[in-house]
């Protein structure tokens, strides 16, 4: 038995945008219930999908190269690809990268955070498994970064 039904011939940029907003709404509901770990995870998902929505608004999603470059489920790789397609000028790319990574995303290694929110990790240094604990302050930081990211993505055309 199949779960769900595919809709075909969708506008992929709009769909990523809707999914991003849905993740954000779900994160807020979870945070209200004190489920900050899951809420933070969904905020990272919302960030990734917001970037992919922007990417697919700038490129033709039917071209195989662009589809292949967007197959990962990594915020970090989405950021790299966005920077790549924003401009061919390396100076502009460096400026966009600096602004986005430092001032919007806070120089956080989201790939690590994404996994650490979902699973315990073994640390050789402590010879034990550890888990990350997050709370309301962490949720608020990520919520603010998502808001900054959405504004940045709306204004990214000003860099080119």
The per-residue pLDDT for 73 is 82
Tokens of 133: 């604990």
Distance between the two ends of the chain, CA-based, in angstroms?
Answer: 48
The overall average pLDDT reported for the chain is 94
- Say what the pTM is: 0.93
- pLDDT exceeds cutoff 80 at 158: no
Which of 49, 107, 95 lies closest to 74, judged by CA?
49
The per-residue pLDDT for 70 is 85
- pLDDT exceeds cutoff 80 at 23: yes
Are 55 and 81 in contact by the 8 Å Cβ rule? The answer is yes
Section 113-142 average pLDDT:
95
């Amino acid at each position: 038995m199949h779960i769900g039904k595919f809709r075909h011939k969708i506008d992929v940029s709009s769909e990523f945008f809707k999914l991003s907003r849905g993740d954000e709404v779900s994160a807020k509901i979870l945070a209200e219930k004190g489920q900050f770990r899951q809420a933070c995870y969904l905020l990272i998902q919302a960030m990734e999908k917001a970037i992919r929505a922007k990417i697919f608004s700038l490129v033709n999603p039917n071209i195989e190269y662009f589809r292949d470059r967007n197959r990962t489920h990594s915020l970090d790789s989405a950021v790299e690809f966005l920077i790549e397609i924003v401009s061919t000028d390396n100076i502009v790319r460096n400026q966009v990268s600096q602004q986005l990574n430092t001032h919007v995303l806070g120089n956080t290694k989201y790939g690590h955070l994404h996994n650490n929110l979902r699973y315990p990790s073994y640390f050789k240094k402590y010879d034990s498994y550890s888990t990350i604990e997050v709370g309301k302050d962490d949720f608020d930081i990520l919520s603010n970064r998502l808001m900054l990211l959405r504004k940045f993505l709306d204004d990214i055309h000003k860099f080119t």
